[in-house]
């Protein structure tokens, strides 16, 4: 789906959660509402830096940027909005959202340590070859996540630490990682 279709789908879930599995579950729904707020905040406030704007503007060949995600994903609430803001003005980049939990289950080809961690960004050239794969989160945050998990931190403590990291970073590491891939 396009990014706008993803936003529409997200809104449909919030309007009629009982019609969408697993959003009838109050825990999923509450987290999804929080993700909606976070994503919209990034859509309003996130401005790509000059370096990433220049690098993305320099892409003249057709590319297909596929983001595998779900509205319930906390990491996606930050990264997907930022990725969209980074590429939205380049007509050579087709930005597509694919749901992790819906066919064709593209995530099966992009597992993280055997798991279906999202979001995942797959950048393909115009003939369908993968040029770059990113995700499920910026490398320093992934290291923090793994470290906290290994130390037995509670999921609530991990979520809080990750949210703090995203708020302090403001998308800078994501942009650096993309710049590195694009150069």
User: How far is the C-alpha of 38 from the C-alpha of 64, rounded, in Å?
Assistant: 25
Query: Which pLDDT band, with edges at 50, 70 and 90, does 183 fall under?
Result: confident
Prediction pTM value = 0.94
CATH number of 3-137: 3.40.30.10
User: How far is the C-alpha of 81 from the C-alpha of 40, rounded, in Å?
Assistant: 8
Query: Which pLDDT band, with edges at 50, 70 and 90, does 72 fall under?
Result: very high
Average pLDDT over residues 96-102: 96
Strand partners, 95: 65
Question: For the chain, which residues make up each domain, given as ranges?
Answer: 3-137
Residue % of the chain over a pLDDT of 90: 97
Reading the block at residue 144, the tokens are 């923090």
User: How far is the C-alpha of 119 from the C-alpha of 112, rounded, in Å?
Assistant: 11
Average pLDDT over residues 115-141: 95
pLDDT digits (tens, 9 = 90+) for 132-179: 999 999 999 999 999 999 999 999 999 999 999 999 999 999 999 999
Query: Which pLDDT band, with edges at 50, 70 and 90, does 127 fall under?
Result: confident
Model pLDDT, residue 126: 85
User: How far is the C-alpha of 158 from the C-alpha of 155, rounded, in Å?
Assistant: 5
11 in Cβ contact with 33 (< 8 Å): no
């Amino acid at each position: 789906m396009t990014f706008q279709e993803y936003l529409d789908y997200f809104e449909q879930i919030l309007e009629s959660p009982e019609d969408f599995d697993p959003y009838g579950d109050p825990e999923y729904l509450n987290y999804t509402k929080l993700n909606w707020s976070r994503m919209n905040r990034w859509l309003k406030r996130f401005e790509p830096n000059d370096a990433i704007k220049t690098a993305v503007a320099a892409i003249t060949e057709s590319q297909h940027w596929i983001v595998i995600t779900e509205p319930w994903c906390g990491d996606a609430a930050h990264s997907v909005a930022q990725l969209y803001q980074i590429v939205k003005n380049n007509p050579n980049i087709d930005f597509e959202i694919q749901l992790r939990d819906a066919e064709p289950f593209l995530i099966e080809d992009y597992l993280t340590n055997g798991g279906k961690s999202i979001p995942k960004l797959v950048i393909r050239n115009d003939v369908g070859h993968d040029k770059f794969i990113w995700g499920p989160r910026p490398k320093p945050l992934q290291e923090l996540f793994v470290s906290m998990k290994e130390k037995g931190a509670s999921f609530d403590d991990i979520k809080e630490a990750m949210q703090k990291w995203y708020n302090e970073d403001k998308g800078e590491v994501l942009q650096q990682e993309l710049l590195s891939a694009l150069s």
